[in-house]
Structures are given as structure tokens and as C-alpha cells.
Structure 1
């Protein structure tokens, strides 16, 4: 097991390798099939997260041993496409807008991301097109331009467009070189303050993060998956968004389980945020590096105002290299890093069977927070953890060996789907894949309407 992907992740989290014996796996053939070892990545990320949860739960409950962890490829594969499994009153969400797609250019391919209105406006503006431009208008224009020219023009206007690169081309890129120099999971000690002592756990289910207050400053899939997982494990998660940047309601319905959601304008209502921060145990940020610094939300600034805090930071390209300030999402990271060319070809790009960089990094981020809480219970101190989708992509393409075929098949997700009524309608949703003996099987609450909760701790 020492060379398995899960063992590599657990080592990166600073975990005791002896605990890996507590993990068992149900291997299912057909789960997350791809040319790259996506199933192995997904299994490792979820398994490490579940083991970190079981470890923390055992410590807080005073158990003699760490509960057994069971990783089922069926549950993992279903959860990794949770946004596709979601139904809201029987309606399937639209996961990509019409202009979020691959486009042929004069010399190759480019992929755009314009699911949010402000990203769509920037994309069309950069291309010199009107707001009512059609897919045909965009296709005709891009067919006459080079992929790299489109990439630079759109990014220069604050939009998202990435040229298709092969793995070899990406490996020679300055950003890829900067990413490769960093560990998959960056972990640092921030200060010498004693963290708040969490109360011992009693009763069931075993909720390792019970009583932990998490400020969720994330958007789209990876960060919200991390905080959705912490909410499953008992944390009081309060998502905070700017009122002028509404979230897509379907995305919120998928990743809002277990959480509360509020809006705050940090430019005009800092006092409320500071009150929340003063009592927080964890802050998770998912904006591009530097985007929140003007509000005093850099890791160093947060730790100075709230000693003993755990800060978890997530970005697309990493907080280093020439692309450190660029926006990004799973789909465009796949295109830049050679994944799209590998899953298809340079002549006809493809995609992973799931937004696996997002989901995988989300579970890794939750695992890192859980391990930081365990380390705090032993030694105290504030902690900082950081991950990037591009670094997870490098791990997928270069660092994971494909495992053995399964004895059972994954053909239908029904066993890992559930339904519930909520304030936003009846939801069919994917059950959480994080599973350990005595732990929770589902979230304590469904998502409510976005931004309607009071900005205070429960």
C-alpha cells in the first residue's frame, strides 16, 4: 500500500501510515472510465478524506482505535458527477452555458468558460461582439484567429479562454514548471497561538467536525465540495458571497447541502465579517490568489486578526508562476495541461468523465482541514493549507498508476442517490462518498435559497 495513490496523499497530509490499514475499497469496473487514472485519483482523494475524518473523530470521542473506512467506487463515481445527478423538481440543471465550450480556431482549439454573466460579457467584449451574439457569431470569429491570440486577448479583458495544449507543450510552459515544483498539498504553521479546544464527542453519529465554525468564501465546485464535506461531518459552515455576484442557483443546490448561505458586501459591512471571523475556526477561500487581499483576507492578515485560525486556500493555477492571478475552472485547466488532448487528441479534444480536478481537489482540501484540526488538538497553532487544480492535474497525468480491474460493475448510480424536499424544491442528489464506521450517511439539512440566511453563527 506504500506506493498507492491513497498512501501518497496520506503522506502529503502528514498522516500516520499505519492508519492506512483501516481503509478498504470496493473496486467497481466501469467507474469513471478514462484514458487517465481518474478512478484511482477519485478513490484516493475520498479515501484520504474519510480517513482524516475517522482519525479526528476517534481522537475527539476518545475511541481506542480509528474507525474503519470503506471506499466504494460506486459512491465515489456518483459523487464526482453530483452536479449531473442533481434534479430540482425533476428538472436537470444546465451545467455549461452555450458559449462555454470548445471552439475551432485557425490553428487549433480553444475552450471558453462563460457560465456567469460577467464572464460572458467579458468574453464577448474582448472579441468585439455584442451582448446578443450567437454561438454562430463566436464560432465564425474564432475560426479566423489563432488559439494563443484568443487566450491572451480574452484573459486580458478578465474573461476565460484557454488554448489547447498537449502534455508535452504544457510541461515546457513556465506555469507548469512552477506548479511542478510545489507539493500536491502545501501545509504550513502560521502562528504560535493556541487553537480553541473542541469539546469531546458523545453519542452518534460520529461527527468529527462538530462545533467547528467554517467561513466559506468559495464559488463553483472545488471549494464548495470541500465545505459541503465539512458540513457533512458536523461543521457549522456559513457561506459568504458578495451580493453583487449572485451564485448560479443550480450550482448552489448541488453544493449547498449542510450549509447556511448569506451575503455580505465587504466594502461596506466589514464589521459583520470581523465579528464572524473573530469566532471562526476555519476560513476556506476559493478565489484567485490576491483577489481578496484588498479586503484584508490574505492568509497572513487573517491569522493576524484571528490567531489560531486554519486557512485553506484553493485556486485554479496556483499562487505562483506567471498565471498565478488568472481565473480558471476545471474545464479550462484540463485544456491547458494536456488532459483534453490526452482524453481525445490534438485534432479532436476530449474531457474527463467528471470534473475530477474540482471534485478531487475539494475532497483533498477537506482532508487537509481535518488533519490540521487533528494536529491542532495535539500541538495547537494556526495552520495554512493550499492547493491548486493545476497541481492536481499534474498528479493525475504524471503521478498515479492505474489500479487493478474490479470484480463488480458500476452500471447504475441509483444505489447512491437520494431525494429530499427543500426550500428550493424537491431534490434528487448524490449521497456523500465519505464513509466510516459510526459516521454520518447524509447531510443534516438540504440547501436553502442562496444568500437568505442571517450572517451569524448557529
Structure 2
């Protein structure tokens, strides 16, 4: 079989080089289809398919080590584009699963006194209440707009950051690249993989699935982080999601990102629960966290602490703006990455910044984080070591924009994905939530068909132990 040459696709070649991935002899990586699928100027299908193809190359390399066999991987751009908003396709016993309205009063663009727009995000109650206190107004669109109009944009953005809330000015791509944070991120790769400790190589032995026996601790919330671990579960990783008992959740996102996972509660402000997590960490392979930079480290589970506790750990961190630089401690959301990096300007205009019809940065960053984890596993297998993988929503937004833009006549009238396409990608399964219809895994593997062993389950449905110590009663489905 002829090996596909990654140099034919510069973006795929870049990712493979970052991960030090080579396509196994006899393997083949194919990207098919074309953009656009949604009415957006960005080549979102191509960007998402490129990351998924790189993931496919990493999975194929792992499979080659564990079975001695190669395989063909195919990703279609239309399928990849549809996956960037899979949450809206959830159906519970035939009915749509409600998800937060992007236009509810506070989470939106507002015009400041200097004519600039700012996007504020109130996705959790404490963020909503903090923003309303800062603006000194009720949670009503007209009142919010009036309050924002009394602020200059930079002053409001800085005040939001100082109060540890979430908001960002709508900038052009050029403006963002001229900010200190934009310049810093531009100097960094889209995925950072840093060796942070020494350990013996850990070969991956024979297995039925590429990631069988790989244990993943998932300390993530909302979308990008849990999407990365859901992606790892597609190929057999054992994922245990850990949530603080007092942390708010968004039910539709929990349902959509919960496929293939076990889920438990631990309060890391309490010593007994910290001990339990340390016990889980000792036999984990991957630790994934997506809270505001410094939060998990402040609870005693920094990348360096994890590497001391479990030499050979692959630690994956998600952030909005990166973990260093003047914005390194700021929290953020997908829409803020669209706003500050220029995506909202291009989707709309300076006078009317507009969000993408999908969640490109959340999903693509999730895919990038999963790929980084796979690459680090391969490095560990070959040369040993503990690794810190870093990805951020804003760096992903910059990378996605590097694919170029379509002219208006090629995207403005695009109707979106067809019903036939959605039907082809959907799966149905009985779950603790009842019968769910959802988008299944979209990457095609000739040998290691992707599927989720466990159905999506409510938060805290399982004990804080690895499954051989807590039998799982669910039957594995037929491969999707």
C-alpha cells in the first residue's frame, strides 16, 4: 500500500512534526471533502480534519506498536465540520436536549463608550453575578447595554480581568497580533509538548484496541477539555472524570462529552479526597485539566507535582489565553477567543462582530489536546519521561485563521449540513439519561473502529476508583 506523504499538506506536516509522529509503513492518512459546510469564512472543516488526521496517524503508530499492523485513516472535511457543534444534535427520546442560549442577556457583544464592542461571558452563576455587580445593573439586556456604554472598552476589559471574571474586546486579527499576548502566542507552537521529568520507557504491549489499558484522569469542565478525553475514549482509553461537588455544570455539555467515560466527585479542598486523587494518579497515564491557570496547581496537582507522584505522567493543560504572558492568569471561554483574536470581526464586521455558527475553538482545541497526549505517550514509550502538553483556545483560533479565508460569495449563502449528512453521522444508544441520539466518532479507521465502551452517564455516577476495582455493568456496544 502506498504511504501518504504528509508533506503534501503543510498543516498536517506541521502537526506531525510537532508530535514527532511518522506514518507507519503500509499506513495511509486521507483527508477528503471540501469546505465550506457552514456559513463562515474560515476553513473550519479543513482545520478540524487536519487535527483528526494527525490523531489518526498517532493512533496508527500506537496500533503498529501494539499489533504489528498498519491501517488506513480517513477524515472527511464535512464530517469534521459538523463535529464542531455536536452538542446541538443531541436528542433525548427524540427531543432536542436544551443547551444554553448564546444570546441570553449578559453573554453577548455590547458597545462601549469608545465605540468598541466587548463580549462578556456569564456561563456560570458566579460569573453572571460578578459581572452584574461590576456593571451595577440588573440582568436585562437594555440595562446591561446602558451600563456598558458608560465604560471605555480597555478599562472595562481590564476591570473584568481584575475581578477574575470573563470578557474580551472584539479585535481584528491584526490588532490581536500586535498585543503582547498575541505576539507571545504567535511565537509558540499550536501544541506545546515539554518534557518535565525523567522516567523509564513504558512500552505499550499487545492489546485489542490502541488505547486499551491507558488510564486518563479527566479534571475538566465545559467543552474543550472534556472533548479531548472523549476523543481518547474512542480508541479504548479508560477515562475517569472528576468533578468538584460544588462546581456548576451545563447538563447538555456533560451529556455530549460524557460518552465512554466514568464520572465521579472529589473535593480537592479536603485532604481525604486529595489522597484519593493521588492514589488514582499513581496508576494513571494521562492527567487532563482545563480550569483557570493556577487553579489545579493551587490544590497540589501541578504538572510538576503530578510528575513527582507518577513519573511518566502525560499532563495536559487547557487555557483560554495561554499560561504565560500578561493574560496568562485570565480565565476565558470559546467565544472570547473568537472575539479577541479577530474571528468575530471576520464572521461579521467591526461594527457588528458576530460569533461563528459552530464552536470552532472549543472542539479544535480539544482535538489538539488529545493529539498532544497521544504524541507524548509515544515519546514516553520510546524514551521515557514525563510530559506537559499545553493548548489554548486563542492559539487554536490563530492556527485556524492561518488556513485563510473564503470570499463572501463562497460562504454567506451556505445553508449548513444536509439532513442526509447528519443522519449518516448519528448513533442511538440507551443510556442512564434514556435513549440518546448523538453524533458518533467521525474518523474512519480500517482496523480499529472507534466506539465508546460506556454510554454517557450523569456526573458522579461512579466511585472514585479504576474500573477493575468497581465492575461496570454496561455492555460494550457494537462498533459504531
Same fold (TM over 0.5): yes
- 1:207-226 superposed matches below 5 A: 207-226=209-228
**Equivalents in 2 of 1:221, 1:20: separation in Å?**
35
Aligned partner of 1:382 in structure 2 is 386
Measured in 2, the distance between the counterparts of 1:44 and 1:332 equals: 23
Q: Is the 8 A contact 1:343 1:350 kept in 2?
A: yes
Listed as ranges, the matches of 1:130-145 within 5 Å are: 130=138, 133-145=139-151
Q: How does 1:195-206 map to 2 (within 5 A)?
A: 195-202=201-208
How far apart, in 1, do the equivalents of 2:81 and 2:399 lie?
A: 19
Note if contact 2:171-2:345 (Cα within 8 Å) is conserved in structure 1.
yes
Q: Flag the 1:19–1:344 CA change in 2: closer, same or farther, 3 A.
A: farther
Match of 1:436 among 422, 445, 448: 445
1:72 aligns with 2:76: yes
Moved more, 387-396 or 276-285: 387-396
Q: Which residue in 1 is equivalent to 2:157?
A: 151
Q: Please state how far the C-alpha of 1:13 moved relative to its aligned partner.
A: 1.4
Q: Which stretch shifts more, 5-14 or 31-40?
A: 31-40
Contact 2:35-2:43 within 8 A present in 1 as well: no
Q: How does the TM-score come out when normalised to structure 1?
A: 0.92
Deviation at 1:75, TM superposition (A): 2.2
Q: Deviations along 1:161-205, whole A, 9 cap, x unmatched?
A: 111111121111111011111111111222221255443114xxx
Partner-residue secondary structure (3-state), 1:439: coil
The Cα of 1:410 is off from its aligned counterpart by 5.0
| Superimposed CA distance per residue, residues 355-386 of structure 1 (whole angstroms, 9 cap, x where no aligned partner) | 11111111111111112222222222222211
1:239 equivalent to 2:245? Answer no
Asked if the contact 1:75/1:431 (under 8 Å) is kept, the reply is no
Corresponding position of 1:121:
129
CA-to-aligned-CA distance 1:324-344 (integer Å, 9 cap, x gap): 000011101110011111111
Partner of 2:319: 315
Do the aligned partners of 1:127 and 1:154 also contact (CA within 8 Å) in 2? Answer: no
Deviation at 1:349, TM superposition (A): 0.9
Which residue of 2 is the match for residue 109 of structure 1? 117
Q: Structure 1 stretches of 5 or more lacking a match?
A: none
Distance 1:31 1:399, change over 3 A: closer
Separation in structure 2 between the aligned mates of residue 435 and residue 291 of structure 1, nearest angstrom:
37
Q: Bigger shift: 115-124 or 249-258?
A: 115-124
* Higher deviation after alignment, 149-158 or 392-401: 392-401
SS in 2 for 1:313: strand
Is 1:56–1:208's contact at 8 Å kept on the other side of the alignment?
Answer: yes
CA change 1:344–1:251 in 2 (3 A) is: same
- Which contiguous aligned blocks of 4+ residues in structure 1 show a shift greater than 4 angstroms? 17-21, 399-402
Residue 182 of structure 1: SS of its match in structure 2?
A: coil
- After TM superposition, list the pairs within 5 Å mapping 1:11-410 onto structure 2: 11-16=17-22, 22-63=28-69, 66-89=70-93, 90-96=95-101, 98=104, 99-106=106-113, 107-130=115-138, 133-202=139-208, 207-268=209-270, 269-398=273-402
Give the C-alpha shift of residue 149 in structure 1.
2.5
Distance change (3 Å), C-alpha of 1:24 and 1:399: closer
Q: 1:253 to 1:448 in 2, by over 3 A?
A: same
Distance in structure 2 (CA, Å) of the matches to 1:291 and 1:396: 28
Instruction: Work out the CA distance in 2 between the residues paired with 1:306 and 1:344.
Output: 47
Between 270-279 and 12-21, report the one with greater CA deviation: 12-21
1:455 aligns with 2:455: no
Aligned to 2:472: none
SS, match of residue 445 in structure 2: coil
| Cα contact 1:217–1:285 (8 A) shared by 2 | yes
For the 8 Å contact 1:11–1:17, the answer to whether it is kept is no
Partner of 2:413: none
SS of residue matched to 1:443: coil
Report the Cα offset of residue 263 of structure 1. Answer: 1.1
Where structure 2 has 5 or more consecutive residues not aligned to the other structure, the ranges are: 1-5, 411-415, 468-480
Say how many residue pairs are matched: 446
RCO higher in structure (CA 8 A, sep ≥6): 1
SS in 2 for 1:51: helix
Q: Secondary structure of 1:292's partner?
A: helix
